[in-house]
Chains A and B, each alone.
Chain A
Amino acid sequence: NAGVMQNPRHLVRRRGQEARLRCSPMKGHSHVYWYRQLPEEGLKFMVYLQKENIIDESGMPKERFSAEFPKEGPSILRIQQVVRGDSAAYFCASSPPLSYNSPLHFGNGTRLTVT
């Protein structure tokens, strides 16, 4: 039973380019969460999605950032026109439905570097 898969592990983009981060949740999990981790800082919630729906995007910047979780395929976190401040580790987590007491299962993250 494969865990949460994120790719790429490392992504380098120049300022102004687009970054696409992918996350395939664990089998049977229909809830996906994205977090950002800056060096020496904690995890910051960005967005929570269920299949084809954004449930909570309160942690996502209003501009340049978007997320989707289509009916088929992985969840995508998209950052347009990247800036140096976007450099961070981005983690995806998944959980099964109606999972009030269930832990989140995390991927190994995508480390984005903006040059």
Chain B
Amino acid sequence: GNSVTQMEGPVTLSEEAFLTINCTYTATGYPSLFWYVQYPGEGLQLLLKATKADDKGSNKGFEATYRKETTSFHLEKGSVQVSDSAVYFCALSGASGGYQKVTFGIGTKLQVIP
């Protein structure tokens, strides 16, 4: 079956540091890949997505590139802010049993300190 593996946190960075959160996946066919963000006390929000190989998703300074050869979708940001503190989930969406099935990683907690 489909699976997503992402680095466990927590990740603690100083403001303006470079961020990488690793995500690799296992899937049959050609899944779509997503990053979601969850702020404290809230539900998940879509951060960015990529639907085919070599696509780059980007939003709010975050980027991730769909790498089929390494089955990866690492999240990066050049300069993090305190407001980026949240939990980040990597996810894939693929056909399974005739319908869309979304599989989430365990989530990586990011804490940015001033």
A103 engages B34 (CB within 8 Å): yes
Does residue A42 face the partner (Cβ distance < 8 Å to B)? yes
Produce 1/0 per residue, A23-64, CB < 8 A to B: 000000001010100000111010010000001100000000
Which of A11-19, A65-73, A79-87, A104-112 lies at the interface? A104-112
Count class of interface residues, chain A: 20 to 34
B102 engages A109 (CB within 8 Å): no
A42 engages B99 (CB within 8 Å): no
B32 engages A106 (CB within 8 Å): no
* Distance between Cα atoms of A49 and B32 in the complex (Å): 21
Q: List 14 A-B contacts (CB under 8 A).
A: A42-B89, A42-B104, A43-B107, A45-B102, A45-B103, A56-B97, A56-B99, A100-B32, A100-B95, A102-B100, A103-B36, A104-B102, A105-B46, A108-B43
